Each structure stands twice: as C-alpha cells, then as structure tokens.
Amino acid sequence: MTDTPAVRPHVSFEVETTVPTTHGTFTMRAYRDLDTGADHVAIVSGEPVDGALVRVHSECLTGEAFGSLKCECGPQLDAALDTIHNHGGVVIYLRGHEGRGIGLINKLRAYRLQEDGLDTLDANLALGLPADAREYIAAAEILRDLGLSSIRLLSNNPDKKDQLTAHDIEVTEMVPLVVGVGAFNESYLDTKRDRMGHRLPGQLDTGFDPVA
C-alpha cells in the first residue's frame, strides 16, 4: 500500500500588515505564487466568514495606474474596495494577470490591433494568444488560507466562478459589478458580454447593491 502524495501548495503566505488607504483601512496579506513567482495580495475588511463578499481582481496597470478608458478595471477595483470597506469582505489582487494573462506588452499590441478594427478577443487570437489565459488556483488557495470555503463573488465573469468551483470554493452568488462604462470601452464590454459570456446587465454605470 502506497501513501497518498501530499498536495503541492501553489502559494505561500509571506506577511500581514495594516494599510490605511483612500478607501479605508484594510488588513493586507501578501502571498508568493509558487508557480509563477508573482506576488498576490488579499485585502481584507472585517473578519472573513463563509458567505463573505469577495472580489478576485486581475492586475491592470493601464486601467488602475494610468487611468485608461479602454477598460473598466480601475473603477471596478475602486468600487470593490469601497464596498468591502462598507460591508466587509475580501479583494484578492492577482498580479501577473495583465491583459487577461498575456502581459503588458502583448496587451498593448492587442490594443494596436483593435485600432485596426479587431475586437478584444480577435486581437488576442491574431497574436497567437489565448482569449483569456488566467488561472485562479492561487486565488482559491488564498481563500482557503483565509478560512473561506463559500463566497459571494463580486464579478461579471462566469469563468471565475467555474474555476473557483473546480478548486473547491463554493460560489453561492455572483454579484454584478457594472461600473466605468463609457464611450471608449462600450465595444470592449459588448465583446465580453456577447462573445465571452460575461454577465453585464444593461451595461449601465448606475452602481450595484452588494448586500441585496
């Protein structure tokens, strides 16, 4: 009879600290991704319990640091942080996910192809890259480290739910996060809704009720 091999961890916890921000004061827990070497952060408000509201957010330098209007990532992060500050919950910030996992340079290459008329999905494919290369096993392990096995997911992307579920995180509800819609990203959001299955009810920048 052979022993069952130990499951190899995909993240390691590194440090916890308290950080005051313009959105409120949060507990931040940093993790090292043992597969990619990226550093991820769990931004926590209150005591996480099963059923907590969770945003799994992909790094977006162009939208968050530079204020790009080609996506809604900056407003989504701001809204998520405001929400967990007000109601409790967690934002897991995943680095190395730029451009749905293709990296910053390829993301800008895809932007250039979009100027020639390709949509966000076809631009990636024209570069020989996947439409979405992101994986969420690190996020699932971070959630388990926080003691969470069941969450309400603040997201429009059903793939996040499917991947988290596959990694034994129960998603009891998907809470839509429709903010930051404007003239420069309407076609981008249309493509995410119509070709990538994102749930974008009305695409109205009217906010949302995370505690409904």
Catalytic-labelled residue, pool 29, 109, 119, 132: 132
CA dist 111 → 71, 130, 149 (Å)? 11, 15, 37
Beta-bridge partners for 170: 150
**Which residues contact residue 192 at a Cβ distance below 8 angstroms, ignoring those fewer than 6 apart?**
120, 156, 157, 198, 200
Instruction: Residue 168: name the closest of 132, 197, 139, 206 by CA.
Output: 139
| Spatial separation of the C-alpha atoms in residues 72 and 14, rounded to whole Å | 30
Active site residue 134: yes
Nearest in space to 176 (alpha carbons), one of 201, 159, 211, 143: 201
| Catalytic residue chosen out of the listed positions 29, 33, 119, 134 | 134
Binding residues: 55-60, 71, 73, 76, 98-100, 120, 155, 160
Are the CB atoms for 178 and 202 separated by under 8 Å?
Answer: yes
Report the binding-site residues for GTP: 55-59, 76, 98-100, 120, 155, 160
Tokens 């997201």 identify what position?
155
Q: Which residues are documented as binding site for Zn(2+)?
A: 60, 71, 73
CA gap 168, 103 in Å, rounded: 28
User: Which residues are catalytically annotated?
Assistant: 132, 134
